[in-house]
Amino acid sequence: MQRHELSVFPQRAGEQTIPPLTVRFQYKRNPLDHDSVSSSVTTTPVHFTVKLPPGAEKLGTLISARDLKVSEVWAPEPSKAKTGDAFVRTITFTAPDVPAMAFPVFPTGKIDGVGIYTKPPEILDETNRGNLSGKRRDAITYVCQRAGQFVIPAARLTWFDLDAQRLRTIDFPARTITVAPNPAMGTAASANERTTDWRRIALVSLGSTLGIFALSFLFWKTRVFWRRVINAFRPVHLAPLNPVPQLKSR
């Protein structure tokens, strides 16, 4: 016997239908038979009604769970920093009977002066004797791109507690980062500028050398050409066919 379990998590209220599934397979009527018999089984559709908890009418994605837990860890803790420093924010969702992909994507937004980089979420679901434990981990990296004071906005997750039959919220407080100029980065930038200047000078010198070489080569080719032209029009002194005999003195 083979058993396949499919978990269904509705994402909107109303009447829902799981369409029928057709499974095709082959089997042998007798273990000694060489030929297999093809067959198929079709399930019946499943209809159910999804209700929205009171007070959740204006919410987007809503998670219904038992014992939902969320942890937030910063490395290092954001406070003061210098240009170029980075902070890694790790957020972990866990709940029984909820797959990791059902948890919402944590909002990051955009902050002028701060680079925000996200990694693909880690899906850490575990199943033990039919019991699912969902776990999702998101890692967000904040890089200070310039000096100033920056605020990472607050966020709130609202979920429905199936045991208490009520909406609950989990708040992520806002974080303020004061970023000071980084002298090391200024020195590196100056070094890069000096390197760029030297490269520019070297390229100009190389271009000038190549230009002088090209002009010299062109002058030499022109001189050789005109020399050949002049030589072509000069009279040619041929040896006489009937030389005059010279008289020998006595």
DSSP secondary structure string for all residues of 58-93: T-SS-EEESS-EEEEEEES-SSEEETT-EEEEEEEE
Which pLDDT band holds residue 238 (cuts at 50, 70, 90)?
A: very low
Task: Record the pTM.
Answer: 0.64
Q: Is 25 helix (H, G, I), strand (E, B) or coil?
A: strand
What's the CATH number for 63-181?
A: 2.60.40
Tell me what pLDDT residue 48 has: 92
Write the Ramachandran bin of 126: left for phi over 0, alpha for psi from -120 to 50, otherwise beta: beta
Considering 46-60, 61-75, 173-187, 223-237, the range whose residues carry the highest mean pLDDT is 61-75
40 or 188: which carries more pLDDT confidence? 40
DSSP string, 181-245: --HHHHHHHHHHHHHHHHHHHHHHHHHHHHHHHHHHHHHHHHHHHHHHHHHHHS---PPPSSPPP
Tell me what pLDDT residue 197 has: 58
Query: What sign does the dihedral 92-95-100-102 (CA atoms) show?
Result: negative
Q: Is 52 helix (H, G, I), strand (E, B) or coil?
A: coil
Say if residue 105's pLDDT is above 80: yes
131 or 240: which carries more pLDDT confidence? 131
Are the C-beta atoms of residues 91 and 75 closer than 8 Å to each other? no
**Percent of residues, the chain, with pLDDT higher than 90:** 42
Considering 9-13, 60-64, 116-120, the range whose residues carry the highest mean pLDDT is 116-120
Q: Is 143 helix (H, G, I), strand (E, B) or coil?
A: strand
Say if residue 60's pLDDT is above 80: no
Query: What is the maximum alpha-carbon separation in the chain?
Result: 151
Calpha distance 65→160 (Å, rounded):
6
Considering 22-31, 64-73, 180-189, 225-234, the range whose residues carry the highest mean pLDDT is 64-73
The backbone torsions φ and ψ at residue 194, rounded to the nearest 5 degrees and listed phi first, read -65, -40
Count of C-beta atoms within a 10 Å radius of residue 185: 13
| Among the ranges given (69-78, 93-102, 170-179, 232-241), the one the predictor scored with the smallest mean pLDDT | 232-241
Which pLDDT band holds residue 143 (cuts at 50, 70, 90)?
A: very high
**Which residue in 204, 237, 76, 219 sits closest to 141, CA to CA?**
76
**Residue in the block written with tokens 């006595």:** 250
Tell me what pLDDT residue 214 has: 63
Say if residue 229's pLDDT is above 50: no
